[in-house]
């Protein structure tokens, strides 16, 4: 089954799940943990072994855990070796991929070195340098999947961002949770974006108007309907289980979601 663990689930891990100052606090604490080259191998191996022990054979590597802006050749090589040792595939690279062609290229080259090709997130090139996106993707063999966030209230907003870009190389990473936060039916969004969907961050949230994530079936997002639609219409990509609570370890809830997702993908 094409199920992956999103590395960003552990956004609050390094601050003991007390993320009181927002996403940047968690992101920065994670980067501070993984950035030092002398401790990278031990810390990255611990992350991968933890995810493997949960029963996952694939993960979405979050940029805070190996950022294209600071990753050295040594760190990338070590990451590849650790992933291979634990038989862990990389489904996508999740995060933000720079504001210039050279930065975007660094992100694309990093993830292709780790055996993946999907950049699932955002880049400032969409606003200031759209013409550079496709050439970088053609040069590196990567694919860019734009992830909807707070500013994209509905599928029309997403498609407007991607207007005029090569549909083979540039598509959508559907984040079901952000559609829920924005009060839009994520099942309907998937139907409208399906032909351009290259990756899915499958996420539930407790209520519209907030982005408090939760286990599948405990929030307002019609997660099963999203999965059923994709399965019935031939979606062949990854389902990334994403759950990023600010105040608790998400592991048990991720495992409950994984069990449900496996049942749904079997049609149970």
Q: Give residue-wise pLDDT tens across range 2-53.
A: 999 999 999 999 999 999 999 999 999 999 999 999 999 999 999 999 999 9
The distance from CA 111 to its chain's CA centroid, rounded to whole angstroms, is 13
pLDDT band per the 50, 70, 90 thresholds, residue 268: confident
pLDDT (0 to 100) of residue 86: 98
> How many domains does the structure of the chain reveal?
1
Q: Answer whether residue 75 shows pLDDT above 90.
A: yes
* Domain ranges, residue 41: 3-265
Looking at residue 199, its pLDDT comes to 98
Q: How much is the pTM?
A: 0.98
CATH of the domain at 19: 3.20.20.150
The overall average pLDDT reported for the chain is 98
Q: Find where tokens 């992100």 sit.
A: 107
């Amino acid at each position: 089954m094409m199920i992956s663990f999103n590395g960003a689930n552990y956004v609050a891990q390094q601050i003991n799940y007390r993320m009181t100052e927002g996403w940047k606090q968690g992101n920065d604490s994670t980067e501070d943990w993984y950035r030092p080259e002398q401790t990278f191998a031990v810390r990255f191996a611990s992350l991968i072994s933890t995810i493997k022990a949960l029963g996952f054979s694939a993960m979405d590597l979050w940029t805070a855990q190996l950022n294209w802006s600071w990753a050295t050749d040594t760190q990338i090589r070590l990451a590849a070796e650790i992933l291979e040792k634990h038989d862990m595939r990389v489904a996508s690279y999740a995060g933000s991929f720079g504001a210039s062609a050279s930065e975007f290229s660094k992100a694309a080259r990093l993830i292709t070195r780790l055996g993946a090709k999907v950049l699932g997130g955002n880049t400032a090139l969409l606003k200031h340098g759209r013409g550079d996106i496709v050439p970088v993707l053609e040069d590196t063999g990567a694919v860019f999947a734009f992830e909807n966030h707070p500013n994209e209230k509905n599928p029309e907003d997403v498609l407007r961002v991607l207007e005029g870009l090569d549909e083979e190389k540039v598509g959508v990473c559907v984040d079901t949770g952000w559609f829920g936060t924005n009060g839009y039916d994520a099942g309907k969004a998937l139907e409208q974006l399906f032909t351009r969907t290259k990756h899915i961050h499958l996420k539930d949230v407790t209520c519209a108007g907030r982005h408090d994530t939760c286990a599948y079936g405990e929030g307002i997002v019609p997660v099963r309907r999203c999965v059923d639609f994709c399965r019935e219409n031939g979606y062949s990509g990854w389902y990334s289980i994403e759950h990023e609570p600010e105040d608790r370890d998400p592991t048990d809830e991720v495992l409950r979601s994984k069990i449900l997702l496996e049942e749904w993908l079997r049609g149970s």
